[in-house]
């Protein structure tokens, strides 16, 4: 039952303290509004040096850092914060979308990377995912929602007593959605995390896989396990 205990903190609304380091006022305002709407507390800083002071004081659950900043640049800022023991998850927001840029961001201690122009819904989902990670680090081995059980050790899913016949990829997709229970997961996040695709396919591969998974999962239920959040992504629970 320990696994079930550790699961309880997975769902539910998160209230995070978020530091936004962004020199473009309009963009910063949009981000601040969007995050405040879902209950987060946001502190905006316009340049790298001020962000180092602010961030080093600690108390933030998530850092959102633009890579191009006046003063200290984003990469150096995060390296400096990491050197001072700040371990809050960090999301880089950048106009530079090349693979090498992302690798540099991850090497500097970044946890996620979002290329402009991103959708606010995308940003919100990423912040939720990072916040969840910072609050709940122990991964549960058994995930449950209604009568759906996902056993991450045996790699099998059941509805009640009935074992679901899932392909390995469908299991991974379901597992990822269940781990994020209560939070919206975007199409892009699924592409990155489940398929390892950093590019944007021109087809509906996520939608088609989700609908196949649903067909196996729901089998005539009135209320589907996986809900579609229009313009944002998918959601289990919440």
Roughly what angle, to the nearest 10 degrees, separates helices 74-83 and 99-107? Answer: 20
Instruction: Identify which of 56, 57, 62 has the alpha carbon closest to the alpha carbon of residue 18.
Output: 62
**Interaction with other proteins in 127-146: which residues (CB under 8 A)?**
none
CA distances from 228 to 205, 206, 214 (A): 15, 12, 11
Cβ 27 to other proteins shortest distance, Å: 6
**Interaction with other proteins in 62-121: which residues (CB under 8 A)?**
68, 95-100, 115-121
Quote the CA–CA distance of 174 and 222 in Å, as a whole number.
19
Instruction: List the one residue from 9, 15, 204, 219 that touches other proteins (CB under 8 A).
Output: 204
**Interaction with other proteins in 23-42: which residues (CB under 8 A)?**
24, 26-27, 30, 33-34
Quote the CA–CA distance of 44 and 65 in Å, as a whole number.
10
Instruction: List the one residue from 107, 155, 198, 219 that touches other proteins (CB under 8 A).
Output: 198
Instruction: List the one residue from 82, 152, 159, 212 that touches other proteins (CB under 8 A).
Output: 212
Quote the CA–CA distance of 233 and 215 in Å, as a whole number.
18
Closer residue to other proteins (CB): 85 or 231 = 231
List of residues contacting other proteins (CB under 8 A): 24, 26-27, 30, 33-34, 68, 95-100, 115-121, 169, 195-205, 208-209, 212, 231
């Amino acid at each position: 039952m320990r696994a079930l205990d550790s699961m309880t903190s997975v769902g539910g609304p998160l209230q995070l303290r978020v530091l936004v380091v962004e020199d473009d006022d309009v963009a910063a305002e949009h981000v601040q509004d969007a995050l405040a709407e879902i209950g987060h507390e946001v502190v905006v800083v316009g340049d790298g040096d001020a962000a180092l002071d602010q961030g080093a004081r600690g108390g933030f659950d998530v850092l959102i850092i633009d890579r191009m900043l006046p003063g200290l640049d984003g990469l150096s800022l995060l390296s400096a914060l990491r050197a001072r023991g700040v371990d809050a998850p960090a999301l880089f927001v950048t106009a530079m979308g090349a693979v090498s840029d992302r690798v540099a961001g991850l090497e500097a201690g970044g946890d996620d990377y979002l290329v402009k122009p991103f959708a606010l819904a995308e940003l919100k989902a990423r912040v939720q995912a990072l916040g969840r990670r910072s609050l709940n680090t122990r991964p549960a081995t058994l995930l449950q929602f209604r009568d759906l059980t996902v056993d991450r050790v045996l790699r099998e899913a059941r509805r009640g007593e009935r074992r679901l016949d899932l392909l390995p990829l469908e299991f991974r997709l379901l597992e990822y959605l269940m781990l994020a229970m209560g939070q919206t997961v975007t199409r892009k996040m699924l592409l990155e995390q489940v398929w390892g695709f950093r590019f944007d396919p021109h087809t509906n591969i996520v939608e088609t896989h989700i609908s196949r998974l649903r067909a196996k999962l729901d089998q005539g239920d009135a209320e589907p396990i996986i809900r579609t959040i229009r313009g944002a992504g998918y959601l289990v629970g919440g």
